[in-house]
Amino acid sequence: IIQANQNSFGKAVLPKYNFNKADLIVSFGADFLGTWISGEEFTAQYTANRNYKSLENKKMSRHIQFESGMSLTGTNADTRVPIKLSEEGPALIALYNAVAGQSLPGGALGNNTTADKVIKLVAKELLQAKGKALVVCGSNDVSTQILVNAINAAIGSYGTTIDLDNPCYLYAGNDAEFNGLVAEMSRGEVGAVLFLNSNPVYDFMNTKAFTDALAKVPAKISFADRADETASLCDAIAINHNYLESWGDANAYEGYYSIVQPTINPVFNSRQAEESLLTWADAPVRDYYQFVRSNWETKMLPALGLKWNDVLEKGAVSVAAKPAAAYSFTQSLAPVATSILNSSKALAKGGDQVELQVYENIPMRDGKNA
């Protein structure tokens, strides 16, 4: 999504999605009530227009879900349309053509006449709900997300149900940059690597390539609280505090800042990772509590007219949101459609054989805490 927004609008951001402002929600495989980006937040937004007050006012948002597997979001949809993984791309092309009045190639859904019929009806509803509709997709394919951007631009979602100017700062990782790091490690160009809240030996797509590259790094340090798959291959484990023992702060959204406060004293002989970094850097302030407090008192609180104790009491502060602008889409979609169709053909290579969908389970997530 981030790369798609960079390509589409020159803004490499994860948008703020406003499901509560949408009269019509159309999702293609995005389990936004479960594992997609911020399920708890989106659930609160989603139910704001689908509760007893909405029923009393006779105005409830409508939700249509296209998906391959049964998700929590799909079970809550007003209309759920089963599609194969290989049909997701063509379905989005068909929807774009119907909404924008274009004729991109590849919008045929073959034998899935139900999905084809629903796509045409959904397109009409999206145009009727222009400015109050939202289309989301769970795909990690850049081309697919670019096409979704084009659909949302055509139905006036930007500036209303999608906010690119007050973005979300979660999931800021970049697969291409990490692949670049692995390549640099394999060439012996990395002198030291530190792992904080990460275990790539466990969850990177190519474990062997990573472990082979890691072996060529002279200094390897993990801040894990146990000898996990990655930490066990490191030269040292500088055990980090548990989050319940830690100080810190966070900036999940533009203009929204929160404080992380410990609830218990450290149980074991550990040290917060940030404090270790300050110590190794020979910083003038090595106590991380003092570091966080000083940063807030010099850079944040004066402009807000608040004191440190005010922040500790409230837990979070916010500043006025930036105006959410509307964005137009001008990119050529011909190469995008070609890329999507090639991916679709690769998925459907076996003809009528079974297609495999790998998904993240809500209680298990990626399994790292199992």
Question: pLDDT, tens digit, for every residue of 18-31?
Answer: 999 999 999 999 99
Question: What mean pLDDT do residues 247-258 have?
Answer: 96
320-342: average pLDDT: 96
Class of domain 175-318: alpha beta
Mean pLDDT along residues 301-310: 95
Beta sheet of 248-253, edge-to-edge order: 14-17, 162-168, 248-253, 256-260, 316-318
d(CA 103, CA 97): 5
Whole-model pTM: value is 0.93
Average pLDDT, the chain: 95
Q: Would the pLDDT of 369 be above 80?
A: no
Q: What percent of the chain has pLDDT over 90?
A: 89
- Tens of pLDDT, residue by residue over 39-59, are 999 999 999 999 988 888 888
- Would you tell me which CATH number, out of the four given (3.40.50.1700, 3.40.640.10, 3.40.50.10610, 3.40.228.10), belongs to the domain 2-160+325-347? 3.40.228.10
Report whether pLDDT(307) > 90: yes
Confidence of residue 348 (pLDDT cuts 50, 70, 90): confident
Three-state DSSP at 16 gives strand
End-to-end CA distance of the chain: 28
- In the prediction, which pLDDT does 366 show? 83
Please, which pLDDT band fits residue 110 given cuts at 50, 70 and 90?
A: confident
124-138 average pLDDT score: 98
Predicted confidence (pLDDT) per residue in 256-294, tens digit: 999 999 999 999 999 999 999 999 999 999 999 999 999
Decide: residue 240, CB within 10 A, 0-12 exposed, 13-18 middle, 19+ buried: buried
* Stretch 172-194: mean pLDDT: 96
Strands 162-168 and 192-195: unpaired
Domain ranges of the chain: 2-160+325-347, 175-318
310-335: average pLDDT: 95
Q: How far apart are CA 4 and CA 140, in angstroms?
A: 10
Q: What is the C-alpha to C-alpha distance for residues 111 and 104, in angstroms, rounded to an integer?
A: 19
User: Which tokens sit at 260?
Assistant: 């992380």
Q: pLDDT digits over 152-169, tens only?
A: 999 999 999 999 999 999
| 313 pLDDT more than 80 | yes
Say whether pLDDT at 351 is over 70: no
Pairing of strands 162-168, 14-17: antiparallel
User: Residue 347 has which token pair?
Assistant: 């998925």
Q: Which residue has the tokens 């993240």?
A: 360
Quick check: helix, strand or coil at residue 113? helix
pLDDT digits 0-9 by tens, 214-228 = 999 999 999 999 999
Q: What is the mean pLDDT of residues 308-317?
A: 96
Helix (H) or strand (E) holding 219: strand 219-222
Round to whole Å and give the CA distance between 2 and 15. Answer: 8
Among 348, 252, 278, smallest CA distance to 40 is for 252
pLDDT of residue 88: 97
Cα dihedral 190, 222, 247, 253 sign: positive
